[in-house]
Structure 1
Amino acid sequence: MTDPETLLRALFDAAIASAQPAQCLPPFLPPWPERGRLVVLGAGKASAEMARVVEAHYGRPLEGLVVTRYGHAVPCQGIEVVEAAHPVPDAAGEEAARRMLDLAHNLSADDTVLCLISGGGSALLPLPAPGLDLAQKQEINRALLKSGATIGEMNTVRRHLSAIKGGRLAAACAPARVITLMISDVPCDAPCIIASGPTVGDATTCADALEVLERYAIPLPEGLQAALAAGALESIKPDDPRLARNAAHLIATPQGALEAAAQVARAAGLPAYILGDALEGEARDVAKVIAAMTRQVLRHGQPFPRPCVLLSGGETTVTVRGSGNGGRNVEFLLALALALEGMPDVYALAGDTDGVDGAAEVAGALISPETLAQARALGLSPRAILEANDAHPFFAALGAQVITGPTLTNVNDFRAVLIS
């Protein structure tokens, strides 16, 4: 068998490759419109690469604006690419969102908007709702990121505190035709959650957003609670007539990435089993479940005989209570290593397919049966580091980080456990 760590990295690379815009976007592009303008708008970590693929497909410079994360820009001929901050938004993203709305308001019924959306778009389009400012949105965003809220919960709040998300960009484009192409980075691939759905209707309400904020004890600026309670910040609903000419298509998903990895494992002679593409919960709790399943395979050959590869996706959470910065994939792996406690013949990789785990420019890491022993030999306390939510320096010390750089796509987290 191929070296376990080399094989795990090959699985991760296959998952990322399956969601590259050049691979998945062209089949969904519409014919060139017979009349009117074709305007490209977009947001997300993959949006610049998506824009480049669109220009290459049509063979001409196009007009439009996309905003992506710092370091994720690629050159386009006509479409303007703006970089902004993620996961905590900044003024560059706010200005890009404002300019995007200006472009949308200048469209006619003959025009077509091609909207390119991928994960990260929520932070990259931080135009505040009336009565809020960017500093207040940044503070709420930081609190949400540390709270343990799921991505669905966080984006419910973001949709209702925005002047562009929650269908508002599409409403501004009316009466133009809007075609949205989406790379999903969220559990269940819900279009309204991907980048907080700037071009799709939102069935959640201000009351839902307020309930999330109260559940996680997120402090609110003066007047915000009253505005939400009164429904004054409501998003655009799915039956809004301004969305009548809209269509949205998923062009890449976490499930597709897991299937691509499974094919590579099977080609290497290892049965591969997908446990789910939408696993959620605290990263350390998900690790305990995966560890229990791994032990069952080793001890009893159930539910799968060894050797095998267990694959899963989705987005876990980290409630940051310690001094570290979290990182759900590395926290998952450290908790998994502790739960397995050096169990032989088990190797694992976890990483974010965009190349960024939490706020660190690191995709994830690898563990082996020797991980804990190596750490302790260096004087590290794996348990204390887990309690501090500080796993990134732990894996850096072991030389076990997975670093890809910007992958120019994003189909959520990837986890693979190899049981040899």
Structure 2
Amino acid sequence: MRNKDEFQKAQKYIPGGVNSPVRAFGSVGSTPVMIDRGEREFIYDIENNEYIDYVLSWGPLIFGHCDKDIEDAVISTAKKGLSFGAPCLLETELAQLVLSKFPHLDKIRFVSSGTEATMSAIRLARGYSKKDGVIKFEGCYHGHSDGLLVKAGSGATTFGYSSSLGVPNDIVKNTHLAKYNDLNSVKECFKNGDIGVIIVEPIAGNMGLVPGSDEFLHGLRKICDENGAVLIFDEVMSGFRASATGSYGLNKIEADIVTFGKVIGGGMPCAAYAGKKDIMELISPLGGVYQAGTLSGNPVAMAAGLAALNKIYNMPNLYDELGKKSKFIIDTMQDSANEMGIPLQTTMRGSMWGFFFNENPVTNYTQALQSDTNLFAKFHAQMLKRGVYLAPSQFETCFVCKPLSQTSLDKTAQAIKESFKSL
């Protein structure tokens, strides 16, 4: 009962008892467990219950909880000071490492969150294109800045809102909505507005895991080239998760600006946006596009990011290994669902995996919304009862980590089979 008691206490002081909406477990009709600590692929609540963690802080913990190399880097750097609000060598080192893996990106600017990265990238893209119109896609989530909270996916989808109170119509009037994986809807937007920017998750992770098709993403590149628009790939979630270079490692499509987050900070608050030289040099102090942040590039986050990315790039078989773990899980889910006659759609990209209780394949937001969220809630509760911690929303993505053992995979498989039988 301590989890419930502490959550009730939290609600007295924190809106909804949480500092990010999906954590409230509202869409799965239960009470969140209060986490005390993590180790490898496990988290432990305040009642000392152990869970195999497939949320992994919503993605960044590709090496699991309390990875020694990342911890050591953070501790040794923190002893020198947490933040200076001034340049440090670690910023240049991490910038050089990231850019060395993306030949189409010339410069990078670090920030502290994915919302900051996408917000800043859009401002920069508008400054470069000199056009106000932005196309975003239904179900894609790019953080909680005002102009993007329109059919935003993720928590907004989970709680049934297509936008947010407090966002003036004048702010979103330049935001044009298109349908994911549908180029015709994009072309219609260009007919109806002065479009200077397209922002898209090339591998959408906030309406559930819904990859963009190669045809769709290549088409976006072509449309931007033909119309003088800037193409932004939001890889805050898929960067260093789908592959060592995110979607670029899978299709080699070159966006003008790419936003990074999650893994790039190794578990610390850190994100970034990177792009071609002529675009990036419009940022202050070189150009007229203003963006700043006291904690941007702080040494502790830079040290964590360097430790994480160096581990990634020194493990050439890492994503093959992670992909096999993801496939083991979704294959088990699909087989179990088929055996019980339960409609299920599964997909994966590298260390990312997802599923929908849906009779039909899901390629866009409308189809995602046709999923059976009540059945998802029941499945989630059954898995949690069996010690498996999944994202508490049908419209989120799950992840695997390097330390995830075959023993834990087998336990997960058994939980999946038992949970489907209970449905």
TM-score past 0.5 threshold:
no
Query: Per chain length, whose mean CA-contact separation is higher, i.e. which structure has more relative contact order (CA < 8 Å, sep 6+)?
Result: 2
Relative to the length of structure 1, the TM-score reads 0.38
